[in-house]
Amino acid sequence: MAKLNEGDVVEGLFTIGLALYLAYGKIDKKELNRIRTKIDSKIFDRGRFKYEVVGNLKRQIKGKPPDFINVGFEMRLKPKSVPGVFGKDFLPLYEKSQDIGNLDKKIDQLITHIKTANFSRRANSIITRFLNNDTTDNIKISIIADGIAGEASGGEVKGDVELHIDAVTKGTRKKLTGGSIAYSLKSESVTVANLAPYKGMLSLATALGITWNAKEKYIRLSQPFRGPVEQKVKFEMITSMYNDLKKEIKIKARTPRFSIDAMGFLKESIFGSDLADVVDIQRGTLKEITVENFDKMSETMNLSIIEKGNNLLFTDEKRISIFQIRTKLRPPPANEAKFYLEVGKGVYLHD
C-alpha cells in the first residue's frame, strides 16, 4: 500500500474546510468528513474531482439586500500520497468517527483557528464587501486544490490551493480586486526550498551578489556520477562547495545590501511568483507566513550569521532565526544529496 503523506492530505482538508467556512461562516467537522467520503481519489490520476458545497445559499446583512452564494471546489492531489483518506476507503472510518494518523487533530486545529486566522479573514473580507453593497449579487466561490500543477512550474509557483471569488450583478459578472488568493499548505514542515546542491547553492550565491569561481570549480556536479568511486567524489565535492559557500556568505554579511538581498531571495523562495501565503496546519496549532507581514518585517531587517553544526542560520537582531541553509548528504547506497532552505520562527505571523 502507498505511504500516506499528511502534508498532501492537508491540502484537501483545508480546501473542504475553507469552502464550508465561506459558505456557512463555520466548519462543521462531521460535514467536512462526510464530504471526504464523496471524493473519488481515483479521478486524481486523470484530472480534478469537482464538488458543489452549496448552491444559491441566501445570505444577508441587516439593512442590505440579500445575496446568493455558490461554493464549490476542484481537487487533484497526488494519488499515491492520500490512500485511505477519501471516498469509499474512508467511509468505514467515518462511520466509526475515526481517522488516520494525525488528521483528526489537524482538522481540529483548522476548526479552532478558522475565525481568527489571516487566510480566512482575508477571504471572508472579500465576501463581506459584496454583502455590504447595495445590490443583490450572485457570488461565485471556487476553490482549486492542485499542488501537482504548482510542482510542474519548477518551483516558481508555490500555491497548492487557489481561491477565486467573483459575482454576477444584474447579469454582469465582475471580479473584485483581490478576489483571487493563493495558499501554500504545509503540515509541520519548515522547508521552503528543496534543491539540487549545485544549482541551489549557485542560485543563493547569485542572489546575495557573491562573486566566486564555484560554477567552474564545481562544474563536474552538473554531470552524472556513476559507480562507487565517482559517487564518493560527488559527495566530497558537494561538501567542499557548501563549505566555500558558507565562508563567502560570512564575508558578504558585512556588506550594506546583505539583508536586502537575503530577504529578497527568501521571499521568492517562500511565496513564489503567485505570492502564496503559507498556512501550516499542525497537530497542536496553526501557523501562517503572510506576504504582508514579511514585507513589513523586511523593511527594518538586519540579518546576522550564526554557524550551528552543519547549518548556517540567518538571524535578526535578537538572534531569532529567520531562515537557515543546510545540506542533507547520504552517500550510497542511499545516494541522497539535498540543499535545503528552511524558515525559522521569526517569519511566522503567529508562533
| Spatial separation of the C-alpha atoms in residues 35 and 206, rounded to whole Å | 47
- pLDDT attached to residue 130: 84
Show me where the domains of the chain are located: 6-186, 191-271+289-347
Q: Name the DSSP letter for residue 343.
A: E
- pLDDT attached to residue 172: 64
Average pLDDT score over residue span 318-342: 95
- Res. 179 pLDDT band, cuts 50 70 90: low
157 within 8 A of 272, measured Cβ to Cβ: yes
| Spatial separation of the C-alpha atoms in residues 267 and 337, rounded to whole Å | 24
- pLDDT attached to residue 156: 85
Write out pLDDT tens, residues 46-92: 999 999 999 999 999 999 999 999 999 999 999 999 999 999 999 99
- pLDDT attached to residue 177: 46
pLDDT at 155 over 80: no
- Res. 176 pLDDT band, cuts 50 70 90: low
pLDDT at 171 over 80: no
143 within 8 A of 127, measured Cβ to Cβ: no
Which whole-number Å values give the CA distances from 127 to 77, 137, 140, in the listed order? 27, 10, 10
Helix (H) or strand (E) run with residue 47 in it: none
DSSP H helices, the chain, are 6-24, 29-38, 87-95, 103-113, 118-131, 147-151, 197-207, 214-217, 227-252, 258-271, 291-298
| Spatial separation of the C-alpha atoms in residues 232 and 221, rounded to whole Å | 12
Q: What is the CA radius of gyration of the chain?
A: 23
| Spatial separation of the C-alpha atoms in residues 200 and 35, rounded to whole Å | 40
pLDDT at 1 over 60: no
- pLDDT attached to residue 321: 98
| Spatial separation of the C-alpha atoms in residues 298 and 296, rounded to whole Å | 5
